[in-house]
Amino acid sequence: MPKTKTMKVRLGDCCMVCKKRKAEGLQVLNTFMCESCEEELVQLNEQDDKYETYVKQMRNLSTNFIG
């Protein structure tokens, strides 16, 4: 088992957050998040409205992955 569920990918995919196709980003579970969205995510704080959106997205992902 890998220690982390994220890994760098270089194939490119459609970002789950901005829905744009990007060449590089993170593979989170079965979903792709581009580098710019990932960067934005780590810079958000919990008071930010966007943070809620991201967290919900991630929660949906987890649910899909488990269930």
Residues in touch with Zn ion (CB under 5 A): 15, 17-18, 34, 37
Asked if residue 16 lies in contact with residue 33, where contact means CB atoms within 8 angstroms, the answer is: yes
CB of 35: closest distance to Zn ion in angstroms? 8
Neighbours of 9 (CB within 10 A): 15
CB of 50: closest distance to Zn ion in angstroms? 12
Residue 18 or 55: the one with the smaller Cβ distance to Zn ion is 18
Residue 1 or 6: the one with the smaller Cβ distance to Zn ion is 6
